């Protein structure tokens, strides 16, 4: 390092400045071409510079050493598409640390500064350590990531002896799919084939000269902990059944000088999954609300509000539109979804990267996500508040929900609740929606069965407990005294202190005898909410209408989102509905329509 420039030896400041300025402009132009897809990249006031030679080296690796192995491009050199080159490969491998970005003692870093780095000098090492790439099916992401994996093994291996790269997926066949792509690419190129040893046992691609290698692993495998990885590639992150493999392997790259982690995925169907959480972080980086400067997000997705039948929407979500994604194919898929609505969720998920959920849900999870507020809910003063209580017998979730009713200015919007009377004649009951609702919710679960549910149902209760969204009580049975204490010493006093005391608590009479008796002893008003279709239909329809009109504010509790996304509705002959949890789902209460009926 030269202290005068803060750059690696041999790199002139004028050259680095020219490369950096040129790349910033090129990336800004790419962001205009694909708006909202990735973050704005700059040198962050001299903390980073762009190494054009290094970016070119990784881009050139593709057409020089790799060729496509299947489809209409089979046998042809792997020429990167514009979005792959400008938004993924060049920025990820080209941006590097200056002395200011390193912050170590040798670079003049201040030990008292939060940016001080107490380790070996990092000048010239890569800025980005993590790539999150979300793109729909048919856009060529599998060949791209297979090529990236080989580039890391061969090019990083020159300066990182023993660079081990792992391809991880939910299932063995899936992990092998991406790995086999890399294997075939290696076999077809004489230079790579000569340099590599292709081992069928494992299997593994091994480079004897650098001791670098590439292999695959799945969530089904045993003994996943412990490898000291240089590179980690997670294929279709949304299909991971839980966060165990994610947690184990992301920790395994921590010891390397410039580790590489690549998450590649399409949208999934579980908004409480580790993939959705990773996407939220990626979106925060794009928006600038997260200052994770080593994280490169690239997300191609339509908005749930977009017209999914229009080619402009298809083009927005599919960067390879017209190349590997054929317009006539998408047009045909749209036509099939229009004829058969059961195909729509799959089309939105696979081809527009819009998160889906289970079949026949009561509530579209995209609508629920639109009601999420970016900050913790604050209890306002002077508002009406009703609450609902759902208690489990032994092993399930218990839930308490408080609905704060905020009046809205203006005449409001009329909602027609349709049903049939006793004679089967169509009737309409009109409700005026001149208010919105803030939804506060608490969950409890006994600790011992919680772990069993995690293993059997792949529900991440432990993470929700750590993050404060669920309370785990001791033992293997529902701990009514603890819930009662939390309710009477923390929750109810908080609403009273804010100036909006809870006026009454609606409860499901099942399992609530002792609890409600204790509440009544303290003078807290309670009302029994009969769990029948006729009684619950109007509140459920009203709640759904409020959600669809974005008149419900919720704080993003993932446990509540999971409950909402799994709720199903049963309709009787009179068009009344009853919202319930599906079979074999250990949910808490259904989305809180009980408090609506109490108010």
Given the DSSP bridges, would you call strands 413-420 and 295-299 parallel, antiparallel or unpaired? Answer: unpaired
Reading the block at residue 263, the tokens are: 């998450």
Given the DSSP bridges, would you call strands 212-218 and 204-207 parallel, antiparallel or unpaired? Answer: antiparallel
Q: Cα Rg for the chain, rounded, in angstroms? A: 28
Ranges of beta strands (E only) in 118-239 are 130-134, 164-169, 197-199, 204-207, 212-218, 231-235
Say what the pLDDT of residue 385 is: 95
Say what the pLDDT of residue 275 is: 94
What confidence tens digit (pLDDT) does each residue in 150-188 have? 999 999 877 888 899 999 988 888 888 899 999 999 999
C-beta separation of 193 from 223 below 8 A? no
Percentage of the chain with pLDDT > 70? 90
Please report which confidence band the pLDDT of residue 394 belongs to, taking 50, 70 and 90 as the band edges. Answer: low
User: What's the rounded Cα separation, in Å, for the pair 260 and 40?
Assistant: 21
C-beta separation of 153 from 212 below 8 A? yes
Ranges of beta strands (E only) in 238-334 are 260-265, 295-299
Phi and psi torsions of 257, nearest 5°? -65, -50
What confidence tens digit (pLDDT) does each residue in 330-386 have? 999 999 888 876 678 889 999 999 987 644 567 777 788 889 998 789 999 999 999
pLDDT at 595 exceeding the cut of 50: no
**pLDDT average, residue stretch 420-424:** 63
C-beta separation of 373 from 555 below 8 A? yes
C-beta separation of 143 from 178 below 8 A? no
Q: How many CB atoms lie within 10 A of CB 56?
A: 14
User: What's the rounded Cα separation, in Å, for the pair 432 and 545?
Assistant: 11
Q: CATH 3.30.420.240: which residues of the chain?
A: 365-580
User: What's the rounded Cα separation, in Å, for the pair 176 and 171?
Assistant: 9
Please confirm whether the linkage preceding 122 is cis (ω < 30° from 0): no
Please report which confidence band the pLDDT of residue 2 belongs to, taking 50, 70 and 90 as the band edges. Answer: very low
Alpha helix ranges (H) inside 293-401: 311-317, 327-339, 344-352, 365-370
What confidence tens digit (pLDDT) does each residue in 66-124 have? 999 888 888 999 999 999 999 999 999 999 999 988 888 888 888 877 777 878 888 99
What confidence tens digit (pLDDT) does each residue in 127-157 have? 999 999 999 999 999 999 999 999 999 998 7
- 395 by Cβ neighbours in 10 Å (0-12 / 13-18 / 19+) ranks as middle
Reading the block at residue 432, the tokens are: 């005026």
User: What's the rounded Cα separation, in Å, for the pair 148 and 62?
Assistant: 8
Say what the pLDDT of residue 424 is: 63
Ranges of beta strands (E only) in 250-397 are 260-265, 295-299, 384-390
- 72 by Cβ neighbours in 10 Å (0-12 / 13-18 / 19+) ranks as exposed
User: What's the rounded Cα separation, in Å, for the pair 223 and 541?
Assistant: 49
The domain 365-580 is classified under which CATH number: 3.50.7.10, 3.40.50.970, 3.40.50.150, 3.30.420.240? Answer: 3.30.420.240
* Residues forming beta bridges with residue 414, ordered by sequence position: 432
Evaluate whether the domain defined by 20-111+121-299 bears CATH number 3.40.50.300: yes
What confidence tens digit (pLDDT) does each residue in 247-276 have? 889 888 877 788 999 999 999 878 778 999
Say how many residues make up the chain. 599
User: What's the rounded Cα separation, in Å, for the pair 594 and 599?
Assistant: 9
Lowest-confidence segment of 34-43, 390-399, 478-487 by average pLDDT? 390-399
Alpha helix ranges (H) inside 499-593: 513-521, 533-548, 558-566
C-beta separation of 447 from 475 below 8 A? yes
What confidence tens digit (pLDDT) does each residue in 521-532 have? 888 889 988 877
Which 3 state secondary structure label does DSSP give 64? helix
Ranges of beta strands (E only) in 231-332 are 231-235, 260-265, 295-299
Reading the block at residue 185, the tokens are: 């690419």
C-beta separation of 321 from 327 below 8 A? yes
Lowest-confidence segment of 46-50, 238-242, 408-412 by average pLDDT? 408-412
> 78-111: string of b/e by CB count within 10 Å (b at 16+)?
bebbebbbbbbbbbbbbbbbbbbbbbbeebebee
**DSSP calls for 8-31:** -TT--HHHHHHHHHHHHHHHHHHH
Percentage of the chain with pLDDT > 90? 51
User: What's the rounded Cα separation, in Å, for the pair 59 and 418?
Assistant: 60
Mean of the per-residue pLDDT values of the chain: 86
What confidence tens digit (pLDDT) does each residue in 20-59 have? 999 999 999 999 999 999 999 999 999 999 999 999 999 9
User: What's the rounded Cα separation, in Å, for the pair 288 and 290?
Assistant: 5
What confidence tens digit (pLDDT) does each residue in 268-300 have? 878 778 999 999 999 999 999 998 999 999 999
């Amino acid at each position: 390092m030269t202290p005068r420039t803060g750059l690696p030896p041999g790199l002139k400041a004028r050259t680095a400045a020219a490369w950096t300025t040129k790349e910033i402009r090129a990336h800004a132009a790419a962001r205009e071409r694909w708006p909202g897809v990735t973050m704005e990249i700059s040198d962050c006031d001299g903390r980073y510079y762009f190494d054009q030679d290094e970016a070119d080296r990784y881009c050139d690796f593709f057409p020089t050493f790799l060729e496509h192995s299947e489809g209409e491009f089979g046998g042809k050199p792997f020429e990167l598409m514009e979005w792959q080159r400008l938004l993924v490969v060049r920025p990820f491998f080209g941006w590097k640390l200056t002395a200011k970005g390193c912050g170590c003692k040798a670079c003049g870093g201040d030990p008292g500064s939060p940016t001080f780095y107490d380790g070996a000098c990092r000048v010239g090492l890569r800025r980005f350590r993590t790539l999150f790439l979300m793109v729909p099916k048919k856009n060529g992401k599998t060949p791209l990531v297979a090529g990236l994996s080989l580039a890391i093994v061969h090019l990083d291996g020159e300066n990182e002896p023993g660079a081990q790269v792992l391809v991880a997926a939910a299932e063995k066949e899936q992990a092998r799919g991406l790995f086999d792509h890399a294997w075939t690419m290696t076999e077809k190129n004489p230079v790579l084939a000569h340099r590599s040893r292709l081992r069928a046992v494992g299997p593994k691609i091994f480079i004897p000269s650098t001791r670098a290698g590439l292999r695959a692993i799945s969530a089904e495998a045993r003994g996943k902990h412990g490898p000291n990885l240089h590179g980690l590639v997670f294929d279709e992150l949304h299909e991971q059944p839980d966060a165990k493999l994610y947690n184990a392997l992301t920790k395994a790259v921590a010891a390397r000088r410039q580790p590489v982690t690549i998450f590649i995925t399409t949208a999934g169907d579980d908004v409480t999954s580790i993939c959705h959480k990773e996407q939220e972080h990626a979106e925060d980086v794009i928006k600038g609300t997260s200052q994770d400067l080593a994280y490169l997000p690239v997300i191609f997705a339509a908005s749930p509000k977009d017209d999914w039948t229009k080619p402009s929407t298809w083009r927005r979500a599919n960067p390879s539109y017209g190349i590997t994604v054929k317009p006539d194919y998408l047009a045909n898929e749209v036509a099939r979804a229009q004829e058969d609505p059961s195909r729509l969720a799959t089309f939105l998920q696979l081809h527009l990267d819009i998160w889906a959920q289970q079949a026949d849900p009561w509530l579209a999870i995209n609508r629920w996500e639109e009601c999420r507020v970016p900050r913790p809910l604050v209890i306002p003063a002077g508002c009406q508040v009703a609450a609902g209580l759902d208690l489990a017998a032994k092993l399930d979730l218990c839930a308490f929900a408080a609905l704060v009713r905020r009046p809205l200015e203006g005449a409001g919007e009329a909602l027609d609740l349709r049903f049939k009377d006793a004679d089967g004649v169509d009737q309409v009951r009109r409700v005026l929606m001149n208010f919105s609702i803030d939804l506060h919710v608490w969950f409890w679960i006994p600790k011992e069965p919680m772990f069993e549910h995690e293993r059997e149902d792949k529900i991440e209760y432990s993470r929700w407990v750590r993050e404060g969204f669920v309370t785990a009580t001791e033992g293997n049975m529902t701990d009514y005294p603890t819930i009662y204490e939390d309710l009477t010493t923390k929750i109810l006093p908080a609403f009273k202190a804010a100036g909006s005391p809870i006026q009454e608590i609606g409860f499901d009479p099942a399992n609530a005898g002792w609890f409600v008796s204790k509440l009544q002893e303290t003078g807290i008003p309670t009302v029994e909410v009969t769990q029948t279709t006729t009684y619950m239909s109007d509140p459920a329809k009203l709640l759904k209408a409020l959600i669809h009109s974005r008149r419900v504010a919720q704080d993003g509790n993932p446990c509540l989102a999971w409950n909402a996304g799994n709720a199903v509705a049963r309709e009787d002959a009179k068009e009344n509905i009853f919202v319930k949890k599906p079979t074999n789902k250990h949910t808490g209460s259904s989305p809180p329509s009980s408090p609506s009926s109490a108010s």
